[in-house]
Every structure is written in C-alpha cells, then in structure tokens.
C-alpha cells in the first residue's frame, strides 16, 4: 500500500468538467491553487524534472513498471522518444525559460515531484545557477501552487560546503547552487527529502546501499541504486524533511528506507 488514504477516489484521467472521461484520456490539468494533500493509495502520479537524465530514465522505468504514472519534463524535443521508451509521458518544458504558471500546469494533479535536473558536466558556471538552483526553486514553487506536498530533490555530496582547495570555478558554482537549492527547499512547508548521492556510476545496481543523514563518507553509488532508493522514498511518506546521503553499501534498499521510517 502506498501513501495515506484521503477519502477521495483517485483521478487518473478526466474529461472537461461535467463529462465522464473516456478510457485512456489524458488528465485535463489546471493551474489553480489548491490545498495540500497527502499521497494517495494505489497508483501514484509522479512528475520528474530533468526527465532525460540517466537517473530520471531509470526511475521512470521503475515507477511505470509497478503501475505508476510518470510525467517527465525535459528541454530538448529530440529526447521525447527516449522518455517515452522509459514508460513516461514526455513533456517538453525548458525550466530555464518558463514561469511558474506553465510549470504548474504540468505538475497539477501529481502526488510527488522529483527534481532530477542538472546543467550537466559540459556546462559553465552560469548554468549551474539557472538549472541546479533556479529550476529547483521553480519546481518547488509549482508544487506549492498546486498543492503537491511530496518533493524529492537530487542534490550532491558537498552541497553548500566550501569547495576543496584547487577546485575549478564550475565545480565551485555547482556546489554553491546545490546548497542554495537545498536551503530553499528546507524553508518550505513541503514533505521534502534531499538526497545526496556519492560519485555516480553506470555499473549494474546491487540493491544494497548505505543511506543515512550526513556524514556518510564519499564513495561510489550506481545510478540504478539511486533510482531504486528514490522509488522507495516515494512509498515512505513518513520519511520527510530529511537530508540523506547515499553510497553503495550492504543494506537492501527497502530495509535502508524502512530504517529511516522507524522512530528515532
């Protein structure tokens, strides 16, 4: 069972108000503000920002394989087929160019937002701010506007800390942007989780991790395992308002997340 009962039936797709939705119809989203609502039972509706990223594609596959709906936001229209192949609904949305009203239309009706966007290793310092910080702020604004309480932010080890001696300008801008995005999220009345993975690899996932509040220590973690942890966190609403670090380890993902749900 996922989430907490709300007493209302789940909307999977609707027609214009006053008419029944045909089977398979897409949801008619609105950007009007609404009261925050807890996650619902059964099929979840998840929006992933940065939907063409390596972790995002893995996460979309996991979520859709278990029956969840995924809407993936990404900038480049050429990536739509990749996103669709992962099971997600492709939504072309350049988070560096749009405002909160447009993003809210894409977020409205969701149970959770996952911020997986990043400027990428080939970008300069300026885009670390516009993507890694400002786009996260924008997604959180849209979540608040539409009443989506669950927000998982993929951050980075070292976020908000002074860069190591000799670090280049781009890395310094990156950890600064990630730190400011974390601070913004912590100040909000959302059910947020900040996840800081270690050095990412494309190795096959082991399904075993070390997941805890900082400091965990720097080490590698497979992107497969990062996606698995996020999927498990979406099913664990009691784990919220926590900053977590994640590296490879010995604890099965489900047990690692369940341990965080236990009373301290």
- Which of the residues are catalytic? 174
Structure token digits, residue 162 = 């002074």
Peptide bond before residue 215 is cis, with ω within 30 degrees of 0: yes
Beta bridge partners of 154: 195
- Sign of the dihedral defined by the CA atoms of residues 62, 185, 176, 138, in that order: positive
Q: CA 125 → CA 15, 54, 118, 131, 174, distances in Å?
A: 44, 21, 12, 10, 7
DSSP codes, 43-83:
S-EEEEESTTSHHHHHHHHHHHHTT-EEEEEES-GGGHHHH
Q: Tokens 């008419």 identify what position?
A: 19
């Amino acid at each position: 069972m996922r989430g907490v009962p709300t007493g209302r039936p789940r909307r999977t797709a609707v027609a214009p108000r006053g008419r029944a939705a045909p089977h398979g119809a897409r949801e008619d989203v609105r950007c009007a503000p609404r009261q925050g609502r807890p996650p619902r039972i059964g099929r979840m509706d998840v929006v992933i920002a940065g939907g063409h990223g390596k972790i995002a594609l893995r996460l979309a596959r996991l979520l859709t394989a278990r029956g969840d709906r995924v809407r993936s936001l990404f900038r480049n229209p050429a990536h739509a087929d990749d996103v669709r192949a992962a099971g997600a609904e492709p939504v072309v949305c350049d988070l560096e160019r749009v405002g909160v009203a447009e993003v809210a239309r894409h977020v409205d009706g969701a149970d959770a937002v996952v911020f997986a966007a990043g400027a990428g290793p080939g970008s300069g310092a300026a885009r670390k701010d516009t993507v890694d910080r400002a786009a996260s702020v924008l997604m959180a604004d849209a979540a608040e506007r539409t009443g989506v309480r669950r927000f998982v932010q993929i951050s980075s080890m070292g976020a908000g800390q002074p860069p190591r001696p000799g670090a280049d300008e781009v890395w310094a801008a990156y950890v600064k942007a990630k730190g400011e995005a974390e601070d913004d999220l912590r100040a909000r009345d959302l059910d947020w989780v900040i996840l800081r993975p270690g050095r990412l690899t494309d190795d096959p996932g082991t399904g075993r991790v070390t997941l805890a509040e900082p400091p965990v220590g720097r080490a590698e973690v497979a992107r497969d395992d990062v996606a698995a942890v996020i999927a498990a966190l979406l099913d664990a609403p009691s784990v919220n308002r926590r900053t977590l670090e994640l590296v490879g380890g010995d604890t099965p993902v489900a047990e690692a997340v369940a341990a965080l749900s236990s009373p301290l």
